[in-house]
Amino acid sequence: MSTPGSHRVAVIGGDGIGPEVVAEALKVVGAAGVGLDTTEVELGAAHYLRTGEVLPDATLDELRGFDAILLGAIGPPVGSTEVPPGLLERGLLLRLRFTLDLYVNLRPFTGAPGSVAGDAELVVVRENTEGTYAGEGGFLRKGTPHEIATQGSVNTRMGAERCARYAFELAQGRDRRHLTLVHKTNVLTFAGDLWQRTVDEVAVDYPEVSRDYNHVDAACIYMVENPARYDVIVTDNLFGDILTDLAGAVCGGIGFAASANLNPARTGPSMFEPVHGAAHDIAGSGRANPLAAIRSAALMLDHLGETEAAARITKAVVDYTAGHQPGTAYPSTVAVGDAIAERV
Ligand code: IPM
Ligand code: MN
């Protein structure tokens, strides 16, 4: 049970469909009986264009004080040239992931009826602070015919280990207790070796969890042909980014894909966001699917200790999706939110 307003949540609606889907997520949380003390925080492409600010230090400090952050979507319309590429990704989203040490990007997938995935039920544990995302590298001789660009993959033993440990803990608590490391150890013989050795060593503490290894290219085939083979996948940042878009597509569409950027050590707030982007093309049309945002809010409640309400919301989303006639359109954003709110 929760008392009204017992969790302090920063809400970053952001751009495009972000505010619309977040509104539905908050509606469902309220219907589930959990009181949140929410504070809206203005960030994103529109905020940048209005103020020239991406993520001021003062805002970052303010965000540190919350119990959780719920984010809709960040980004300018596709093709817009007003916001330099990478500015918001690196300066806002990745800066939050890195400075708040959100080292696990947890992405659960449930196959929707009629989707390629059938009744697959899997979770990807994506390392969220290292790899090629770390920002290592640079240019030499930029603008000359001899220009060089490098972008290294940073893999620390500590980073791989804490991520592997989280994934094993998760697998241990699931019915199938199965964990697959996805990497490219046959070519990335340094990073892959570190990951493989780390997972092998952590596995000793989890004898009940069965294990598998897939190269990432093969994992793409399996993800399309038989995603039900997976239970928990653990992988690095970039492979996890790509594989979770694919998993989203085969499980019914990216509009269903939820994510939790977790700081499992709880040294600060964790951040919850749908995997999809701002989709400016459908913003305001009522056609945005709020289910990814709603399921992300359930991940947030789970992290905040509201496990029972979280389970009810997740079940409502999964049941609602399962009852949907494949090939027919979903009702409006608000109507889907209402339908889930009624079920929780
Ligand atoms: C995601 C997104 C981000 C990523 C971008 C927007 C930086 O694609 O959350 O998967 O690459 O991690
Ligand atoms: Mn992505």
What pLDDT does residue 114 have? 84
Set 27, 48, 67, 184: catalytic member: 184
d(CA 149, CA 142): 8
H, E, C per residue of 15-43: CCCHHHHHHHHHHHHHHCCCCEEEEECCC
d(CA 340, CA 344): 6
Ligand showing the shortest atom-to-Cα distance for residue 238: 1
d(CA 117, CA 271): 27
Mind listing the pLDDT tens digit for each residue in 108-148? 999 988 888 888 999 999 999 999 999 999 999 999 999 99
d(CA 222, CA 122): 13
Q: Which residues line ligand 1 (CB under 6 A)?
A: 89, 93-94, 241, 275
Catalytic residue check, 193: no
d(CA 225, CA 246): 12
d(CA 246, CA 254): 9
CB neighbours (10 Å) of residue 35?
Answer: 14
User: What tokens appear for 23 in the block?
Assistant: 């509104």
Catalytic residue check, 320: no
Ligand showing the shortest atom-to-Cα distance for residue 296: 1
State the pTM of this model.
0.97
What pLDDT does residue 198 have? 98
What pLDDT does residue 2 have? 54
d(CA 110, CA 112): 6
